[in-house]
Chains A and B, each alone.
Chain A
Amino acid sequence: MNLVMIGLEIHAQITALKSKLFCSCYGNYRNLRPNTNICEICSGLPGTLPIINKKAIEYATMTSVALGCKVPDKIMFYRKNYFYPDLPKNFQITQYNVYGFSSIGADGLFELDDSKKIRITRVQLEEDPGRIAYSEEGMNVRNSALVDYNRAGAALIEIVTEPDFNDPKEVRLFLNKLTLTLEHIGVCDTLLEGAVRCDVNVSMKGGNKVEIKNVNSFKEVEKAINYEVTRQTSMYNRNLKIEYETRHWDDRKKITFKARSKEEEHDYRYFPEPDIPVIVLGNNFVSTLKGYMPELPNERFNRYVSNYKLTEHTSNILINDKKLADFFESCVKIYFSPVEIANVLITDLKSFIDNDSESTDYLSNMKVKPEHLAELVKLIEGNKISRITAKDILIKIAERGVSPSEVLNSTNSFKIVDEKTLKDAIDTVFDNETSAVNDARNNPEAINYLLGKVMKFTKGRADPKIAASLINIKLRKSEN
């Protein structure tokens, strides 16, 4: 395959904001009746002026910092002029990097893995347009379309990368890491419908750049790129020229298709937005913000490895699922035993919630609470219950939402450490497993088999250490 170059233009809504970018309408426009979340400002009525949402500037700055961008001490807004029915003012207030002014973030570098970094061209703050609803039959039949301005004016962060990706898999890795970063800053809930969108440009060595618009979820991005690479490769092989063009991604057919040519001919006539004076962030703005900026995924990783002594593998599993990592830390705060808590979370808890569903918020809907898990681990470490019992108890907590001790009291599941009880159990096993007992005299491996039987007989409650030594003693005794 020829060298592929891929660049991304990502739009992430600042879903964390209560209000829109320039007015006090709800930032969360979802599930509202059309055109009820609008006011004079966001519907662009004559005479209205944009009032900048300061929180949005903070979130955009944090995003810029997380992507390794420079944040200037002054920022400006620009108007991008174009006609479209979903754009109330027929211009979009956005940012523009020109004539010494930069957008809120510029010239960033984001680590993909140990061997590769992606250059971030810019991060900018801008307003979302409304949405057009076409009737099922399409424009040609009805000769009309409906516009919903509920979304108009919602705050967007645009992230533009250099064409540094050479493989769709790198794009996937990047988007995963980016999602995680946005979640950690708390700027964007990427799982909300329409919260992230992506434009992709794909070019092959010797070919023109092709822009794919309309990719409305990160999951589709890799598919769109794969389709486009295949399409361009086959054109290349047949000696067909790859035109510079804009294409759209069709979600249902999973193909890209050529956009109407008019859409490529825009001259946006950018100029500084006169209604928003230059915003002076000041020299201390970024350093102050860093002071209360949430921890980023890589910082969290370092802390898990060095402070909690977790393995890199375990740390990654936790951090790649932010809500799981948050749950983990709540547990650690109650009872400090990070390694054991991580083990129970990853091997036991995750094993039965994974099948559950792809629900976005499975942890907060779950009946197991951090205090339950912390108590459970404390019981394990205090040698009060075995790890096998622990898993059973966890299932019961998940069913009933009661504390581990309540489960223990009602089921009598404490670990058996009493030698007399254990000896009785071992005797029974030895009676039933005579051939295994014989094997065990010559083969130490077989001892584990007997121990397993003892554990099974005691329903997992036997203390495995004591049981193992009692088995050894009994084997040696019966030899003589």
Chain B
Amino acid sequence: MGHLHDLLAYEVVEGIKSQQFTAEQYVGSIIKRIEDVDSKLHSFITVDSEGALSSAKIIDRKIKEKEDIGSLPGVTIGIKDNISTKGIRTTCASKILEGYVPSYDATVIRKLKENGAIILGKLNLDEFGMGSTTEYSSFHSTHNPWNLDYVPGGSSGGSGAAVAAGECTVSLGSDTGGSIRCPASFCSVVGVKPTYGRVSRYGLISYANSLEQIGPICRSVKDAVMIMNIISGKDIMDNTSTQSTPIAIQSKLGKLNIAIIKELINGSDHDVTRTVYSASEKFKDIGYSCEEVSIKNLDYALPSYYTLASAEASSNLARYDNIRYGFDFPIEEYKWDTYFSNVRKNFGQEVKRRILIGSYVLSSGYYSKYYLKARMLRSLLKLELLKLFNKYDLLIGPTMPILPFKIGEKIDDPFKMYLIDINTVLANLAGIPAISIPVGFSNGLPIGLQIMAAPFQEQKLIDASLALEDTIDIQRRPNSI
């Protein structure tokens, strides 16, 4: 056996249940791993070693006393720092929440804890989830474990990097326009964006409520299924959540019909296109049918996404006024009539930009010109995608149109940065499930394949992903760390 920290979630569960090693030993190895590599990666904002070790001891005691330990005993989970954790600081990588410690657990956290999973700490992100590189974190940039000069993707960059580097067994991210799949692709790990409503958003600090979902980032498809089945389900604390059937590891769905989205292939870097095509050949090898299709309304996706996401964000982020919680500040410096604008200077550039855009598209006179139009385009796009699912089980393409790039390379051009989200925003606009799985490398930089399915058809995503994972032989551990 190699390092304990390299184990997959289902191997950890097996090892602890069969007492090959204790939860304390395993968690100890993970903490050691963080100590060894995180000074290079900067995946974490907060590490709760003490809490993790004491949870591990409780699991070991329960095993000794043959008590119920749930289905994820000892599995260490890194949490994107925009998901509320009771008693653990939750910052959204923003100065404005630097001192905020939630008084409650998000529903997903509660469910994971109930199943014996261990909350390891909080992972870096672009401030409030707004970005695709994790460079917009107010604290520090995270580095890609496959090449430390490169971005890990975003906004769940900490979640992607930490899992790829073995700093945690699995992690949770959130995906508003690709924030799980982008870092999964850039870090060569598996990331799932569930159907809108499959996973409770209670406790996820809202960026754009109508678009986002919490989902797992893992080193194997099977791990992702385990986490998905724990965190899914109707939650009375979230009006938009829905009941769903669990995902099976071995389903009996058989051969699926796949369509490659032509525009997404054509718009990508050469190496990305080539790798995705070769993945589609693998699907044909295992008996799936595979055609090419076009999406007519694709050009509307990004404008619609950025209009709606910014509109919702401008309202969601209004509450950060430092009256009830936030950060330390000298009260004397503020005057009644300038208080709000002064306090809110603490947001970062990208967040301010989106608040401004969002306020603009909602203001009177512009509402129907921008916001309402964006909603209509969203419906149009959703209809078109759902229609495609009448004919095909799955739509595939590259997760990201380009390879990971160097830290600092695109930071000065926000518009270019927005453009790289084109492949991922589709699933959020349509509320459908999507997965990114590793399919290859170019010059040592990872390439991910995105698979999308109709609402609540996660089983099809998983079937195809498991099949592909079996047939693709690629490097699973980064050398640079």
**Residues of A participating in the B interface, judged by any CB pair closer than 8 Å:** 40, 43-52, 79, 81, 83, 85, 88-91, 99, 139, 143-144, 147, 267, 269-271, 274-277
Contact = CB atoms under 8 A, between A and B. Distances in A.
A46 B362 CA distance: 22
Chain B interface, >50% SS class:
loop
Contacts of A269: 314-315, 359, 362-364, 367
B240 A144 contact: no
A49 B84 contact: no
Interface of A is mostly: loop
B238 interface: yes
Nearest to A144: B331
B215 interface: no
Contact of A79 (B83, B84, B106, B315): B315
Contacts of A50: 239
Given A52-B239, A88-B324, A90-B318, A47 B83 contact: yes
Contact of A275 (B203, B209, B323, B364): B209
B239 A83 contact: no
16 contacts: A46-B90, A47-B202, A47-B205, A48-B202, A81-B315, A83-B321, A88-B319, A90-B321, A143-B332, A147-B323, A269-B314, A271-B315, A271-B362, A274-B312, A275-B209, A277-B240
Nearest to B208: A274
Contact of B237 (A51, A52, A90, A270): A51
Contacts of A46: 84, 90, 92, 97, 100, 102, 205-206, 319
Contacts of A45: 84, 102-104, 324-325
B204 interface: yes
A48 B239 CA distance: 11
A288 B72 CA distance: 47
A292 B357 CA distance: 48
Interface string B284-323: 0000000000000000000000000001101100110101
Contact of A267 (B97, B239, B364): B364
B132 to A, nearest CB: 22
Contacts of B315: 79, 81, 91, 269, 271
Contacts of B325: 45
Nearest to A52: B239
Contact of B371 (A40, A271, A275): A271
B319 A274 contact: no
Contact of B367 (A88, A139, A271): A271
A147 B208 CA distance: 28
B201 interface: yes
A50 B372 CA distance: 23
A46 B321 CA distance: 12
B210 interface: yes
Nearest to A81: B315
B329 interface: no
A89 B209 CA distance: 14
Given A40-B103, A49-B202, A89-B319, 15 more contacts: A45-B84, A46-B100, A46-B102, A47-B102, A47-B201, A47-B205, A51-B239, A85-B323, A89-B318, A267-B363, A267-B364, A269-B315, A271-B311, A275-B209, A275-B238
A387 to B, nearest CB: 61
A51 B236 CA distance: 8
B415 interface: no
B319 A277 contact: no
Interface of B: 83-84, 90, 92, 97, 100, 102-104, 106, 201-206, 208-210, 236-240, 311-312, 314-315, 318-319, 321, 323-325, 331-332, 336, 340, 359, 362-364, 367, 371-372
A421 B205 CA distance: 90
B319 A47 contact: no
Contact of A44 (B104, B319, B372): B319
A50 B240 CA distance: 10
A302 B421 CA distance: 67
Contacts of A79: 315
Given A83-B318, A90-B321, A49 B237 contact: yes
A118 B162 CA distance: 65
Contacts of A91: 315, 318
B239 A277 contact: yes
B340 to A, nearest CB: 5
A152 to B, nearest CB: 11
Nearest to B84: A47
B243 to A, nearest CB: 15
B371 A47 contact: no
Given A274-B210, A275-B209, A139 B90 contact: no
Contacts of B236: 51
B174 to A, nearest CB: 11
Contacts of B97: 46
Report which residue of B106, B240, B321, B340 has the largest number of chain A beta carbons within 10 angstroms of its beta carbon: B321
B82 to A, nearest CB: 8
A274 B97 CA distance: 23
Contacts of B83: 47
A47 B324 contact: no
Contacts of B84: 45-47
Given A89-B318, A90-B318, A49 B201 contact: yes
A40 B97 CA distance: 16
A81 to B, nearest CB: 5
Given A47-B84, A47-B203, A90 B319 contact: yes
A274 B209 contact: yes
Contacts of B332: 143
A166 to B, nearest CB: 31
A269 B311 CA distance: 9
A70 B396 CA distance: 48
A83 B317 CA distance: 11
Q: Quick one: which of A90, A91, A277 has the most chain B CB within 10 A?
A: A90
Q: Which of A85, A99, A269 has the most chain B CB atoms inside 10 A of its CB?
A: A269
Contacts of B204: 47
Contacts of B363: 267, 269
A118 B67 CA distance: 68
Nearest to A268: B364
Contacts of B202: 47-49
Please give me the 6 A-B residue pairs with the lowest Cβ-Cβ distance, nearest first: A90-B318, A274-B209, A269-B362, A274-B210, A46-B205, A47-B203
A441 B314 CA distance: 96
Given A85-B323, A271-B311, A274-B312, A49 B340 contact: no
B103 A275 contact: no
Nearest to B239: A276
Nearest to B341: A83
Contacts of A277: 239-240
A225 B253 CA distance: 72
A47 B367 contact: no
B239 A275 contact: yes
A277 B431 CA distance: 14
Contacts of A270: 362, 367
Contact of A47 (B106, B331, B359): B106
A260 B204 CA distance: 38
Contacts of A51: 236-237, 239
Given A49-B201, A90-B318, A44 B324 contact: yes
A47 B318 contact: no
User: Which of A46, A144, A269 has the largest count of B CB atoms less than 10 A from its CB?
Assistant: A46
Contacts of A90: 318-319, 321
Nearest to B235: A49
Contacts of A47: 83-84, 102, 106, 201-206
Nearest to A38: B324
Contacts of A276: 239
Contact of B324 (A43, A49, A81, A139): A43
Nearest to A46: B205
A277 B318 CA distance: 21
Contacts of A267: 363-364
A361 to B, nearest CB: 37
